[in-house]
Structure 1
Amino acid sequence: MTNGAERGRFAPSPSGRMHLGNLFTSLLAWLSAKSAGGQVVLRIEDLDAGRCTRACADQLEEDYCALGLFWDEGGSAGGPDGSYYQSRRGARYAAALETLREKGLVYPCFCTRAQLHAASAPHREDGQTIYPGTCRALTPDQAAERAETRPPADRLRVPDREIAFEDGHLGPYAEYLARDCGDFLLRRSDGLWAYQLAVVVDDAAMQVTQVVRGSDLLASTPRQLYLYELLGLTPPKFYHVPLLLSPDGRRLSKRDGDLSLDVLLSQSTPKELIGKLGYLAGLNPSARPRTPESLLAEFDWQRIPKENIFVPTGLFF
């Protein structure tokens, strides 16, 4: 990495073909890094082996190449900061967990999913459960007794203070961790590493300086900034982008197959698809075909909408 150079990243989860929202975010991530003369890293977020496959990961690489969204290191090509598959980076996450444990900030949690989603548990406006601290005060003897019947998850104690940052696109944002999310998971009871820990460890190790992702992940940023602080790591600059919505206001989702790339490419060429995405981003005056490179001169964060974007009827639907 050139000293001082920008480093962006693609961080797809290989659980199926990309959908329109994934592509929109990936295009903006590429444009943001490349317009600053920087590099792009491809990291495959395949922590969940039950949902993620190598075949899907390979397909993602083919899809990015077909669209002209080339990266500088990572994926199957590797590089100096590999492996670039999260499923192979468990030792790094374990080392970070041990660092946090030595600080006295990690404790075992035996709560089941059903208990966490009980009506009595507090919930955020977006529906996420705020952990009520059920296992926070367990004694070592109590924890050992419970561990005989159920393996524990590892949870991080959070401070009762504000974590604030300036988002590069949406502006100021802050949360009081204790009130707004509660102690959060670092590793699940089945051994699966939690997203919050893995993404912090990996972005730091891969020298990522800017993270472009959907605004649905905005609320996770204070938790990640707290982890950066505890682990003595330098955080990147965050840019959260609007979500794409169907004409009826429904969020586009990989889960229900909305506008997956195989469908999109059966209806549009790669240049046509990039042109339409550039139009939604405010970078293309019309939906005429473009390449990612041709949009570089147009890229400016001030031109990107801040509110979620309704995809016009007839553009893709």
Structure 2
Amino acid sequence: MTRFVMAGADQEVLLHHMAFYGLGDILEEADVDVLLTWEDGRPVLLGEGLEPDVIENAVRAHVEGRREWVAQTNDDGRGTMSPRLTAFTADEQWQSHQTGREEILDRLAAQHRWGDLRYLAALGEPSYWSVNRRNEVLQDDGASRFEMQPRNRGSEFVGNRLRPLAEKLLVRKPGQIVAGLDGSAASDELGGKPDSVSATGMTTPGPVDSALVWCALWGIGWFPLAHRVSGTAVTSGHLGRSRREWFYVPVWRGRWRPARARSILASAQLRDAASTGLTDEHDPLGGRAASTWLRARGVAGVLRFPIGRFGSDNAPERRALRAEAIPL
């Protein structure tokens, strides 16, 4: 069994957890029987024949396979599958947008693209059903909290993040994708400056490899979203609201298949354990039961990432800060 170590990863940075999940999902789609584990604070993927060229080809094929729906836009040029968009002001805009979304979803379903459908369901969509007391549509209420693309100047997630990443990655020379994933040679084609925000909120500003970002953004698909008739959708792996928010993830012993990781990430037990010490979230009795349940499944600890808000109130930038460890 071959090991691939994401040697440049930092366990206290959310980006590297998300890239671990995204890469695991991409390899599973490529029919690699992959296992996920942690060794000395580094994510490790294991599988028969998991050589660098296998990983390189799998990621490249994955990016190529998403180009069709990533490139599709509404009449105004905005990404059809973006979960947060500048507000629609007319029924015709909503109808055109929904028609475009449904065409993509129907096409993916007909092609049995279950990974794409799981991802888009987790990413969310503009909320036409959530309104405030003045009957104004709260359009962002249907989006994943992991989708942190800043909204200044009308930017949006698919058109301003996924599409440019896909274009850059597909013209990389052989070996450059896997070099970015193992940390041996990072290249930030979208930013590159000391204050680069290419990580899209998954960590604080700074240069970061584009392949790592693609995998991290794809990792959002492992965090299911539960819509509400009124109010913000509930995102797995997220706690709190407004200016008191956190993301959380597990660290485990042993080797997990992707399905095991997805089930733990979405579990109420992980949420209960992660809410330790948050007076408005935590149930002490439930927390003890959750810790017992998690330990029995190999979870060694939980990391909680405070979410900072920066910039203006009109278009704030949300970023996951360094992790704090939650004891089980």
TM over 0.5: no
Query: TM-score w.r.t. structure 1 length?
Result: 0.27
Query: TM-score w.r.t. structure 2 length?
Result: 0.27
Larger radius of gyration: 1
